[in-house]
Amino acid sequence: MLKSNLKEIIDAVESVANEKGIDQGIIFEALEAALASTTRKRLGEETDARVAINRKNGDYDVYQRWLVFADDSRDLQFPQRELRLEDALDVDPSAKVGEYVEVHLPSESFGRIDAQTAKQVIVQKVREAERAQVAEIYKDRLHTLVSGIVKRVDRNGIYVDLGANAEGFIPRECMIPREPVRTQDRIKAFLKEIRSEARGPQLILSRTAPEFLIELFKLEVPEVGQGLIQILGAARDPGARAKISVKSADPRIDPVGACVGMRGSRVQAVSNEIGGERVDIIPFEDNPAQFVINAMQPAEVSSIVVDEDQHSMDIAVAEDKLSQAIGRGGQNIKLASELTGWKLNIMSEQQAEEKSEAEANRLRDNFIKALDVSADVATILVQEGFSTIEEIAYVPTNELLAIEEFDDEVVKELRNRARDVLLTQAIASEETDGEHSDDIMSVEGMDEALAEALKAEGIHTREELAEQAVVDVVGFGGLDEERAKKLIMAARAHWFANEQ
């Protein structure tokens, strides 16, 4: 019954393949697989079958087949579709282990339902092949701006018709919050990824990605597209506010003014495209502190302290400007931090002064204790910007001599004391490293990270840990109270063992 139907399907395959530019072989292979599945249902699900269709006239052959195993193999599980070699040779004298042997079955007419299944397979394969073609075309457009017409909007996201049988999808999390989007709206988006899915490649778009904002400026600002102005980064709170950093390759061009445009026309065009999102344009600076000051706009920074070791900065602003600097819900400070890549700590001028004074007192006390110097000498060292013993020991002598209160004798004595301190610390460190590795690591429940954290707090040995109270170690290396109790009891275990 399917003989004539198959001939019609062959004609349909040729027509569709030519129209869509799809390889006929892909459709025929899927069609053969579908008919083989129908045959297996008729013979029994445990069997295996193969269907071969003549590409020219639509005739087909049906085979039942078995996978061949070695005679001594213990891997056989399905006798209906597996044979040992000695039995396979009775079916086909040329049988080999790992290959199939087949028996030609009488051709049976496939029913109308089977024909319908075959047609469905063709439709499915055509769609999959079209998606694959679209993915191949858009592979070169990955991470660029695309535009299309909204086909539909549902709770999962927005489906966008990109033209030429291409469809993009904007997931809910990549949509600008509260942005009104309706069917037939023209919309732009950033091609974020081409995702492989069971039903074929999917073009995933985004309107919240920072890169989308950069691409919009490339579109609106010719100088950016020409490479005269560089956009070095962007940070966004989608639908609310954004910051971009810009730099000019030509000193005659003002990068901020070019991006803003005449009467704000260029930045306004970008803002309108992203739901009215306010965009701050920040001039990039090679000096990280100045770049952060720029990024904090519109807030004015009173002072800034850079901690390169922690990759952070303390920013002080006037008390009445603190809320502006932080922004609604921390928005301004968060965007500035994302844009610059620095951890930013915002505080009032008074808080900054108190913190600076506390830090200066800590450094002064450390110098007094370590170098055995007077408070006056320690204060001078702090005021001159010295913060570590290493700096005093190894900074060029002329820098110390440049300090008005110091002469050759004082400088020489300070450097000698500093180097003695460092030598003593190095010897102690070698000793405690040995104790740490052979001793504290033997405490049940201890790990390397926690041992290093305890060492930084002056707890180097099992005995030193045993002498601690729980409240003294909670918080070290993220240690909670429960684990602290267990570790201290484990460290004290040898005390009780000795008593027994």
Q: How high is the pLDDT of residue 430? A: 63
Domain count, the chain: 4
pLDDT at 500: 46
**pLDDT at residue number 117:** 67
DSSP, collapsed to helix, strand or coil, labels residue 188 as strand
Q: Over the chain, what is the mean pLDDT?
A: 85
Phi, psi dihedrals of residue 386, rounded to the nearest 5°? -80, 135
> Same domain, yes or no, for 24 and 85?
yes
* Residues 51 and 91 placed together within one structural domain of the fold: yes
State the CATH number of the domain containing residue 453. 1.10.150.20
Question: Which of 161, 178, 208 is the endpoint of a domain?
Answer: 208
Q: Which residue has the tokens 């590795």?
A: 437
Looking at 101, 127, 153, which one is the last position of a domain? 127
At residue 387, does pLDDT exceed 60?
A: yes
Q: Measure the CA–CA gap between 346 and 338, rounded to whole angstroms.
A: 14
Residue 260 pLDDT exceeds 50: yes
**CB atoms near residue 283 (< 10 Å):** 16
Does residue 269 lie in a domain region?
no
Q: Are residues 64 and 123 in the same domain?
A: yes
Query: Which is more confident, 222 or 119?
Result: 222
Question: Tokens at residue 164, please?
Answer: 């030429």
**In what helix (H) or strand (E) does residue 498 lie, and over which residues does it extend?**
helix 493-499
435 has a pLDDT exceeding 60: no
C-beta atoms surrounding 369 within 10 Å: 11
Going by pLDDT thresholds of 50, 70 and 90, the confidence category of residue 291 is very high
Task: Kindly state the tokens that stand for 107.
Answer: 């051709």
Q: How far apart are CA 19 and CA 424, in angstroms?
A: 84
Residues 103 and 48 in one domain: yes
Question: Model confidence over 228-248: pLDDT tens digits?
Answer: 999 999 999 999 999 999 999
Residue 264 lies inside a defined structural domain of this protein? no
**Structural domain of 200:** 142-208
Q: H helices within 313-439, ranges in order? A: 322-326, 331-340, 349-371, 375-383, 389-394, 397-401, 408-438
- Kindly report, residue by residue over 477-493, the tens digit of the pLDDT: 778 888 888 888 888 88
Domain annotation covers residue 432: no
The pLDDT assigned to 1 comes to 42
Query: Which candidate, 17, 290, 246, places its Cα nearest to that of 133?
Result: 17
Amino acid letter for position 379: T
Using CA atoms, how far apart are residues 156 and 150, in angstroms rounded to an integer? 14
pLDDT tens figures, 145-162: 999 999 999 999 999 999
Give the number of other CB atoms < 10 A from CB of residue 190. Answer: 24
What 8-state DSSP symbol labels residue 95? -
Q: What is the pLDDT of residues 341-356, one digit of tens each?
A: 999 999 988 888 888 8
The mean per-residue pLDDT over the stretch 249-257 comes to 92
Burial of residue 477 (CB within 10 Å: 0-12, 13-18, 19+) is: middle
pLDDT in tens, 2-47: 444 566 666 766 776 676 667 777 777 777 877 787 778 778 878 8
Q: Give the distance, in angstroms, between the CA of residue 274 and the centroid of all CA atoms in the same chain.
A: 23
14/11 Cα distance (integer angstroms): 5
Residue where the block lists tokens 């730099």 = 247
Q: Note whether residue 7 is domain-resident.
A: yes
Tokens 């309706």 label which residue?
Answer: 182
381's CB contacts (< 8 A; 6+ apart) are 363, 364, 367, 392
Count the residues in the chain. 500
pLDDT of 56 above 50:
yes
Q: So what's the pLDDT on residue 67?
A: 92
Assigned token pair, 37: 């599945």
Find the range with the poorest average confidence among 236-250, 376-390, 438-452. 438-452
Partner residues linked to 312 by β-bridges: 307, 343
For residues 18 and 123, state if they share a domain: yes
* Whether pTM exceeds 0.75: no
- Identify the pLDDT of residue 23: 74
343 domain-assigned: yes
Which region among 110-124, 262-276, 323-337, 453-467 has the lowest average model confidence (pLDDT)?
110-124
Q: Report the pLDDT value the prediction gives residue 225, as an integer from 0 to 100.
A: 86
* 51 and 149 housed in the same domain: no
Let me know if 289 is exposed, middle or buried by CB neighbors in 10 A (0-12, 13-18, 19+): middle
Q: Among 2-6, 177-181, 182-186, 457-461, whose mean pLDDT is lowest?
A: 2-6
The rounded distance, in Å, linking the Cα atoms of 120 and 209 is: 38
Instruction: Indicate whether 32 belongs to any domain.
Output: yes
DSSP state of 445: T
Q: From the CB of residue 487, how many other CB atoms can be counted at a distance below 10 Å?
A: 23
Q: How far apart are CA 273 and CA 189, in angstroms?
A: 10
The CA distance from 76 to 78, in Å, is: 6
Report whether pLDDT(432) > 70.
Answer: no
Q: How much is the pLDDT for 437?
A: 45
246 in a structural domain? no
In a domain, 132, yes or no: no
11, 60: one domain: yes
Shared domain for 201 and 108, answered yes or no, is: no
Specify the CATH number for the domain of residue 32.
3.30.1480.10
| 100 shares its domain with 199 | no
- What's the pLDDT at 436? 43
